[in-house]
Amino acid sequence: MADADAATIEEAKVRLQVAAARQEESGQGIARIPRSAFQALGITEGDPVEIEGKRVTAALAIPTYSEDESLSVIRLDGLQRGNAETSSGEHVTVRRAESRPATRVVFAPAQREMRLQGQGEALKRVFFRKPLVAGDLVATHGQQPVQDVPPQVRRMFNAPAYALTQIRLQVVSTVPKGIVHIDENTEVELRAEFEEPRDGRGTVNYDDVGGMEDTITALREMVELPLRYPELFTRLGVDPPKGVLLHGPPGTGKTRLAQAVANESDAEFFTINGPEIMGSAYGESEKRLREVFEEASRVAPAIVFIDEIDSIAPKRQNVTGEAEKRLVAQLLTLMDGLEARSNLVVIAATNRPDAVDEALRRPGRFDREIIIGVPDEKGRREILAIHTRGMPLGEGVDLTELARSTHGFVGADLAALAREAAIEAVRRIMPKIDFDERTVPSEVLETLQVERNDFKAALKR
Ligand code: ADP
């Protein structure tokens, strides 16, 4: 570039500390940065920026919330933190991005349970002008508007909803490579089949568990920190925890939380289901258990998640069968055999902490405990926001009010409620659907909204 000023601006970069995006802004592809960073980079609101952690990704820059203004932070959601291979508290380098129009972008579902049909055109509207990098995980989103920005910038984000739930996709490939965006001329393909994310990375992250702020902080200290920075512990001469016991009622998000910690720590995730492993043939259960621990140690950093541990390791005085006794003994041996600095953490979940063999709760085994309770109103509000994140919601839908009227609901109940409400909305437009057609016309799709009454009807079920 001939212009000297432009060249300096292009080289300009700022170092910012990563912080989590607000729950409701998650999945929108924006990065909140201080106004001073806009000046330093020579960019304006809505411009694309390159974000470099251990990997490079891109986002549209939006001024940060006023209370953050004096802090050198960049707010990124969980998918973006994964895309940049960074996590909250770490630093990333931010530059102005030269985003090029793509001639072709290929997406694939990043969720195993999701099968999509080639609706490339609809996706084109959702991701129009958003910077994308091949390998990124991205999300479709509903119409919750981005706050505190001028209308012309906000319009860029209020793309029509793609589906009634938030869908996570992988950007499989782009032409050209590097940071690109979709414009009128881009050919967009959506593959039907699930595509294994880069490094087997899962899509669940801290943004996906609601009402658990304190729990996440505690787990980050106990699990993420030692997995990411084992040298901290070596240096201090203390052993990081090997085992953490999560206890709380079913459906409160224990499994989801463990997956989120694994993903945010860049650790491999292994699940052992208590009742399932108990059902195996003679000798098989111990073998399975050993195999999982061996494999996890081999690929560490790793998290082994044991769901319903009380069925594997019930109090020994309650145990009558030889098989159970051997399995408890095997688990104890495996826990004791773990090197303190093996970079492997075992997280176990139970609904009945009193039913777990005390020997497992001794020091060096599951010596940390975290209670996951039934969510309070604020927690329910957060969980509802997560499960309606991708939904086009009618104006009358008030999540705060819904949170108030769902006392006693756990996360799984609230997820079911949101799903039911969406099905109610689909029922309403059924008469408009011509069943001879293979797809629903876009005029009909665009009127599809989940209304207050849909939630009311869902609550009655
Ligand atoms: P647990 O392991 O405690 O039985 P899960 O993690 O399996 O519960 O939760 C089941 C489902 O309920 C999750 O997949 C999620 O959809 C929803 N869910 C539960 N708790 C939460 C939460 N705190 N935040 C968001 N979703 C939740």
- Is residue 6's pLDDT more than 60? no
pLDDT digits (tens, 9 = 90+) for 150-208: 565 555 554 455 566 778 889 999 999 999 999 999 999 988 777 776 655 667 889 89
More reliable by pLDDT, 389 or 6: 389
Give dist(CA 304, CA 287) in Å, integer. 15
Q: Tell me which residue of 78, 76, 82 sits closest to 59, measured CA to CA.
A: 76
Lowest mean pLDDT of 118-122, 183-187, 221-225, 356-360, name the range. Answer: 118-122
Give dist(CA 108, CA 193) in Å, integer. 6
Beta strands in 21-123, from DSSP E residues, in sequence order? 30-33, 48-52, 56-63, 73-76, 91-96, 100-101, 104-109
Give dist(CA 366, CA 358) in Å, integer. 10
Take atom 25 of ligand 1 and give the residue whose Cα is closest.
209
Q: Tell me which residue of 173, 204, 166 sits closest to 188, measured CA to CA.
A: 173
CA of 133 to the centre of ligand 1 (A): 30
Strand, coil or helix: 175: strand
Tell me the HSE value of 203 on the side-chain side, using a 13 A CA sphere.
Answer: 22
Take atom 15 of ligand 1 and give the residue whose Cα is closest.
412
- Is residue 113's pLDDT more than 70? no
Q: Say how many residues make up the chain.
A: 461
State the pLDDT confidence band at 328, using cuts at 50, 70 and 90. confident
* Whether 180 contacts 101, CB under 8 Å: yes
The pLDDT of residue 318 is 63
* Residue whose tokens read 């959601």: 77
CA angle 225, 51, 22 (to 5 degrees): 65
CA angle 70, 74, 77 (to 5 degrees): 140
CA angle 228, 232, 236 (to 5 degrees): 150
CA of 308 to the centre of ligand 1 (A): 14
DSSP H or E segment with residue 368: strand 368-371
Give dist(CA 33, CA 60) in Å, integer. 10
CA of 259 to the centre of ligand 1 (A): 11
Ligand 1 atom closest to residue 372's alpha carbon, by position in its atom list: 3
- Is residue 10's pLDDT more than 60? no
Phi, psi (deg, nearest 5) at residue 48: -75, 140
Query: Which of 256, 310, 420 has most ligand 1 atoms within 8 Å of CB, for mutation?
Result: 256
Exposed, middle or buried, 67 (CB in 10 Å: 0-12/13-18/19+)? exposed
The pLDDT of residue 1 is 44
Give dist(CA 104, CA 154) in Å, integer. 26
Q: Tell me which residue of 200, 201, 345 sits closest to 260, measured CA to CA.
A: 201
Residues with CB under 6 A from ligand 1: 209-212, 250-256, 349, 383, 386, 411-412, 415
CA of 253 to the centre of ligand 1 (A): 3
Q: What is the dihedral of CA 455, 458, 460, 461, to 10 degrees?
A: -170
- DSSP assignment of 214-276: HHHHHHIIIIIHHHH-HHHHHHHT-PPPSEEEEE--TTSSHHHHHHHHHHHTT-EEEEEEHHH
Percent of the chain with pLDDT over 70: 85
- Is residue 231's pLDDT more than 70? yes
User: Taking all residues of the chain, what is their mean pLDDT, rounded to a whole number?
Assistant: 85
Ligand 1 atom closest to residue 212's alpha carbon, by position in its atom list: 23
Q: What's at 161, amino acid-wise?
A: A
Tell me whether the omega of the peptide bond preceding residue 301 falls within 30 degrees of 0, making it cis. yes
CA of 449 to the centre of ligand 1 (A): 25
- Is residue 115's pLDDT more than 70? no
State the pLDDT confidence band at 145, using cuts at 50, 70 and 90. very low
* Whether 242 contacts 304, CB under 8 Å: no
More reliable by pLDDT, 174 or 318: 174
- Is residue 34's pLDDT more than 80? yes
Query: Which of 219, 252, 371, 406 has most ligand 1 atoms within 8 Å of CB, for mutation?
Result: 252
CA of 375 to the centre of ligand 1 (A): 11
CA of 16 to the centre of ligand 1 (A): 32
Q: Tell me which residue of 96, 92, 178 sits closest to 134, measured CA to CA.
A: 178
* Whether 194 contacts 108, CB under 8 Å: yes
Give dist(CA 111, CA 122) in Å, integer. 19
